[in-house]
C-alpha cells in the first residue's frame, strides 16, 4: 500500500490568523457572559492555566483552540491574513558585474599626491 500524503490545510484555514487583540476580546466576552476562567476552561475542556495565559496574552491560541473559543463565546478571533507590505524603494532587479566587484573587492586606498 502506498504511503498516505499529508492532507493540505483548507485554503480558508491557511489565510486566517489570530486577531491582534484576542486576549482582550476573550476576557471581555467571558466576563459579559458571567463566566469565570475556570468555568470557561471546563466548557472547552482545557486547563485553567491555559485560559489565564491566553487572557494575559502570554499564549497565542492555535486555530483549533480559537475555533473552540469562538464557538463557546460567540466571538470572532480569526481574521484574514494581512498582506506583507512591500518596501517603498525596492532593490534593483538586476545585478551587474560592477555591483559584484564593489561587493567582493577590497576598498581602494586613496592614491597619495
Structural domain for 44, as ranges: 12-80
The answer to whether residue 3 sits within a structural domain is no
Q: In this predicted structure, what is the pLDDT of residue 10?
A: 53
The answer as to whether 34 is a domain residue is: yes
CATH number of the domain to which 51 belongs:
1.10.260.40
| Mean pLDDT, the chain, integer | 79
Domain for residue 101, yes or no? Answer: no
What are 17-55's pLDDT values in tens digits? 888 899 999 999 999 999 999 999 999 999 999 999 999
Does 41 map to a domain?
A: yes
CA distances from 44 to 65, 67, 80 (A): 9, 10, 24
In a domain, 110, yes or no: no
Identify whether 106 is part of a domain: no
**90 within domain boundaries:** no
Confidence category of residue 94, pLDDT binned at 50, 70, 90: confident
Number of structural domains the chain divides into:
1
Strands 78-80 and 16-18: antiparallel
Residue 63 lies in a domain: yes
* pTM score of the predicted model: 0.61
For 34: left if phi > 0, alpha if psi spans -120 to 50, otherwise beta; the answer is left
CA 78/CA 60 separation, integer angstroms: 12
Amino acid at each position: 500500500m502506498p504511503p498516505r500524503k499529508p492532507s493540505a490545510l483548507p485554503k480558508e484555514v491557511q489565510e486566517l490568523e489570530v486577531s491582534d487583540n484576542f486576549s482582550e476580546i476573550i476576557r471581555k466576552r467571558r466576563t459579559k457572559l458571567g463566566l469565570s476562567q475556570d468555568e470557561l476552561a471546563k466548557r472547552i475542556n482545557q486547563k485553567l492555566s491555559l485560559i489565564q495565559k491566553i487572557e494575559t496574552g502570554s499564549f497565542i491560541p492555535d486555530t483549533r483552540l480559537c475555533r473552540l473559543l469562538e464557538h463557546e463565546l460567540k466571538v470572532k478571533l480569526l481574521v484574514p491574513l494581512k498582506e506583507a507590505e512591500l518596501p517603498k524603494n525596492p532593490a534593483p532587479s538586476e545585478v551587474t558585474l560592477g555591483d559584484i566587484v564593489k561587493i567582493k573587492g577590497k576598498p581602494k586606498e586613496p592614491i597619495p599626491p
